Every structure is written in C-alpha cells, then in structure tokens.
C-alpha cells in the first residue's frame, strides 16, 4: 500500500489503454451532453470536428476509468479528491481512438487540519494512438499518512 510518505515529487508513470467506441460516444452524449456534433454525422460534418466526437466530459470519464484501474495496480491509501485546478481539452477524441495516460506528481503537503491526511497535486495527460495530447488536467488527491506524528 502506498501512503503519503511514499509519494515522490517528480515521479511519473504511463498507464492505461482505452478503446473509444462509437456506441459509447453516442450513449454518453445522449445522456450527458446531447449536442448535435456528438450525436449526428451530418451535424458533426458541419463543424470543426468534421465527424462525431466524444464529449470532453466523456474524455474525462474515460481518463478517470484508466486512473482508477491504475490505482488498483499501484495500490494507494487514497481518500478521494477535493477537485481539479485546471482542465483542458486539446484535441477531439473520436470513435476508434485508443487512449492512454501519463501522470506526474508535481506537489505534495501534509494537511494542516487533518494530521491523518496528505494532499498531492498531479499533472495528468491523456494521449491518443498518435501520441497527440487530447486532455490535460492538474488534479488534487487526498491520501492517508502512515505516520500521523511525522513530518514531510
């Protein structure tokens, strides 16, 4: 199990593989982001997307699925997240794309109000099969500390 004390600033890793299907793009968009360019070939062809593309929020969800799968392998004493500092969708994601992730720890600190908890900040990037960056976010994670009385 990986605790706050085990997290190293500057550490990075590559992980994940997610095949984007047309069915999933349509299902997600129908339910959560029903804009025409996510649902209709003709409408999408009239936009800069050129064809049906995944919602940016769907791209976030696919990224999160890969991150959670990676957490099962790289077991962490995680406690959730207080949020995201920044989020950018840099290129459209299309059915047929294959996504992967890279992450880097860029900051960490002990919680002042909760001695049993640490906070770390990560830069998370999602790439397509052509190594094109499609999503970048800086997120915050909460994690248990091993030694409540210790310091960084």
What is the residue-level pLDDT of the chain in tens, covering all 152 positions? 899 999 999 999 999 999 999 999 999 999 999 999 999 999 999 999 999 999 999 999 999 999 999 988 888 889 999 999 999 999 999 999 999 999 999 999 999 999 899 999 999 999 999 999 999 999 999 999 997 665 55
The single-letter DSSP state of residue 66 is H
What is the reported pTM?
Answer: 0.92
Contacts of 71 (CB under 8 A, 6+ apart): 78
What are the residues whose beta carbons fall under 8 Å from the beta carbon of 98, sequence distance 6 or more?
17, 18, 19, 20, 128, 129
CA gap 131, 108 in Å, rounded:
28
What are the sequence ranges of the domains in the chain?
A: 4-144
Helix, strand, or coil here: 139? strand
Q: Which CATH superfamily is domain 4-144 in?
A: Hotdog Thioesterase (3.10.129.10)
């Amino acid at each position: 199990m990986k605790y706050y004390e085990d997290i190293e600033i500057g550490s990075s890793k590559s992980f994940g593989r997610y095949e984007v299907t047309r069915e999933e793009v349509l299902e997600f968009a129908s339910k959560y982001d029903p804009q025409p360019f996510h649902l209709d070939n003709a409408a999408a062809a009239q936009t800069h997307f050129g064809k049906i593309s995944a919602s940016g929020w769907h791209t976030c969800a696919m990224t999160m699925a890969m991150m959670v799968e990676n957490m099962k392998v790289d077991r962490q004493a995680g406690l959730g997240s207080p949020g995201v500092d920044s989020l950018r969708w840099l290129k459209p994601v299309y059915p047929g794309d294959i996504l992967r992730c890279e992450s880097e720890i860029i900051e960490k600190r002990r919680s002042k109000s909760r001695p049993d908890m640490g906070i770390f900040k990560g830069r998370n990037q999602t790439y397509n099969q052509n190594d094109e960056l499609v999503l970048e976010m800086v997120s915050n994670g909460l994690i248990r500390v091993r030694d409540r009385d210790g310091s960084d």
